[in-house]
Amino acid sequence: MRASIIRRLPRIAFAVALLATAAAYWPSLSGGYIFDDFPNIVDNKALQVTEASPGNLAAAALSSPSSSFKRPLASLSFTANYLADGLDPFGMKLTNLVIHLLNGLLVFLLARQLLRMAGPRPPTIAAGATPTRAPDLRNEAVAALIAAGWMLLPINFTAVAYVVQRMESLANLFVLGGLLGYLAGRRRMLDGQRWRGLALCAASLGLGTVAGLTAKETAALLPLYALLIEWALLRWRGGGRHDVALWGLFALVLFVPLALGLAWMLPGLLKPSPWAIRDFTLGERLLTEPRIVLDYVRWTLLPTPHALSFYHDDYRVSTGLLTPWTTLPSMLGIVAMLALAAALRRRAPLAALGLVLFLGAQTLTATILPLELVYEHRNYFASFGLLLAAVPPLAGAAAPMPLARRVLLGGLLVLWGAQTALTAYAWGNPLRLAEDLALRAPASPRAQYELGRTYVVLSNYDPASPFTPLIYAPLERAMALPGSSILPEQALIMVNARLHRPLEPAWWDGMTAKLKAHKPGVQDESSLGALTQCAREKLCDLPRDRMLEAFLAALSHPHPSARMLATYADYAWNVLGDRALGLRMAGEAVDAKPNEPAYHITQVRMLAAMGRRADAMQALQQLQSLNVGGRLDRNLAELHVLLDR
């Protein structure tokens, strides 16, 4: 009986870790939406369907503004939540937590398999002898500790509580499952079922990658992770021609797609246009990311609230090898991590694997793509690599654990769980969250703006509200911080316009100057869109000369975005009453992004309103070609009725 309980202890410990994780995250479920949740979910009407018809689901699946690949599975999961509970964030966040706990189970299973493969091969057992279960129990216990730590890590918090980052956690559900399938296939190969095992490896990598890509592009790294496991642990064991077949599999799922992807992306990335909306160049990004990657190590293992501030738009860009001075040492630090992994490969293969998995997970988001510099959720898989390297030595996977290591590991688990629980408490209330993030990142324009915006929402534009006087200080502070978008100016203008208070010239001047200095980014486009909507709905009496000045500054840069052109078309048509200008801008939006149905729909409506039926029918035919899966059936029917009138 006692032996049976001992055998179950690791699984009992893992079950306790699941409950502890759920308890730590639970307060955050009562919170609201934040940042990119709004364009992707709250303001994305295509997700908010009333019935699950094929056309509605197709429209929802292809509605994400976050990526050209649309991430259809993630979008459909948001639609499923909407069908069940509407826009109630509790259901959205609860779904994210369930996905995180499922990922924790997969991390436990994956860590257990890797620990077994990294250990010494079991000796031959004499006939009639009873094999010992001690190594398996030890591996299960260490795997439970790795999974517990991973589920509680504060750096993984935003991949769970930040609703839109379900894209990240859902993609990694398939990545982790794909790796488990790959290891199962390799075990079959090692046991003599070579072709069956190879087929399972191919299916796991192929299906896992494709399914994961429907949630987020980070799933493309699944074959790389499998290759790193081969390098560190398996070393192509399997025999003769099957090694060649394995290399052929990796050529098919990794090397060829990598070469094609680089050939497709590199010419565009070497042009200045993709970097025009960023505050850094390609070279500056490559100089800065080594500092960020090493910061991720520190933020993962020894996190502090000010480090994990959610908003990192105040992160200093490296402009030279010694500007700041930590740039070159950080680059050397990355090289040292790779050298250490190579040195540990034979005597400590699991530690070597953990290091290369961490670095491998950064290859997509910390290299040449023109993404924002820092996001904590990018470490959702990478943090598993660090724990794989750090926890087994602390847990004494191969020997009894000294007291000092036991205390250190226990202290880390308590630190991670406590900080996650405290962060979840802050995320459980929008005002508490905004104040907490502004305190954590006083130099972040986004954090200060979000605090002001929260006061705006709570004030409900009521002059007598106690929140109204609190609006101005954080917005003006955000406006003055380096790297700020025009969001603070837009918010100040809109607040005073709706309160019928004077509009400060400095707000308009600051907004126009920022739009002239840099090509507008997503936040700038959203700001002009919000001002346009406020003026169109006659909630804001905005001076037209100032609005035109802002639009012309935004459009003065080469190749303006389709969204900016469409916003100007909206303002010209609905506010200025200039139909010719509105139609011309709508047409330019269609030309700038011909695969976006919304711009075609606007163009057809404008042509119909001007009585140009033949032109409208021609534009309608172009829209018809975008009706994938019937997603535009309702829109097309409405436009046909409009034209028949």
pLDDT tens per residue across span 516-532: 999 998 889 999 999 99
Residue 634 clears pLDDT 80, i.e. is over it: yes
* 195, part of any domain: yes
Give φ, ψ of 148 to 5 degrees.
Answer: -60, -45
Torsion angle of alpha carbons 212, 217, 218, 219, nearest 10°?
Answer: 20
What mean pLDDT is reported for the chain? Answer: 91
Q: How confident is the model at residue 2 (pLDDT cuts 50, 70, 90)?
A: low
Tell me the mean pLDDT in the region 350-368. Answer: 96
* 336, part of any domain: yes
Tell me the mean pLDDT in the region 209-238. Answer: 92
Radius of gyration of the chain measured on its C-alpha atoms: 27
Contacts of 622 (CB under 8 A, 6+ apart): 590, 594, 600
Tell me the mean pLDDT in the region 455-482. Answer: 95
CA distance to 282, 306, 330, 443, 477, per residue, from 482 (Å):
20, 19, 24, 9, 10
Residue 107: predicted pLDDT: 98
Domain count, the chain: 1
Residue 130: predicted pLDDT: 39
CB 105 within 8 A of CB 150: no
* 272, part of any domain: no
pLDDT tens, position by position, 231-270:
999 887 764 455 788 899 999 999 999 999 999 989 989 8
Tell me the mean pLDDT in the region 126-155. Answer: 77
Based on the number of CB atoms within 10 Å of its own CB, is 589 exposed (0-12), middle (13-18) or buried (19 or more)?
buried
Residue 1: predicted pLDDT: 56
Contacts of 501 (CB under 8 A, 6+ apart): 495
Residue 4: predicted pLDDT: 64
* 213, part of any domain: yes
CA distance to 27, 166, 417, per residue, from 22 (Å):
9, 16, 11
Stated pTM of the model? 0.92
* 127, part of any domain: no
Residue 201 clears pLDDT 90, i.e. is over it: yes
Percent of the chain with pLDDT over 90: 75
* 297, part of any domain: yes
Contacts of 231 (CB under 8 A, 6+ apart): 345, 356
Residue 369: predicted pLDDT: 93
Helix (H) or strand (E) holding 554: helix 544-554
pLDDT tens, position by position, 263-322:
998 998 988 888 888 889 999 999 999 999 999 999 999 999 889 999 999 999 999 999
* 82, part of any domain: yes
Residue 454 corresponds to which tokens in the numbers above?
A: 């929260």
Give the structural domain span for 94. Answer: 2-119+135-266+279-424
Contacts of 287 (CB under 8 A, 6+ apart): 318, 319, 320, 321, 327, 331
* 178, part of any domain: yes
pLDDT tens, position by position, 104-137:
999 999 999 999 988 765 433 333 333 345 568 8
* Lowest-pLDDT choice from 218-227, 449-458, 552-561, 622-631: 622-631
Residue 238: predicted pLDDT: 60
Percent of the chain with pLDDT over 70: 95
Based on the number of CB atoms within 10 Å of its own CB, is 127 exposed (0-12), middle (13-18) or buried (19 or more)?
exposed
CB 199 within 8 A of CB 206: no
Residue 407: predicted pLDDT: 86
pLDDT tens, position by position, 386-420:
999 999 998 875 555 577 887 899 999 999 999 99
In the DSSP assignment, the letter for residue 320 is B
Length of the chain, please? 645
Residue 578 clears pLDDT 60, i.e. is over it: yes
Tell me the mean pLDDT in the region 497-520. Answer: 95
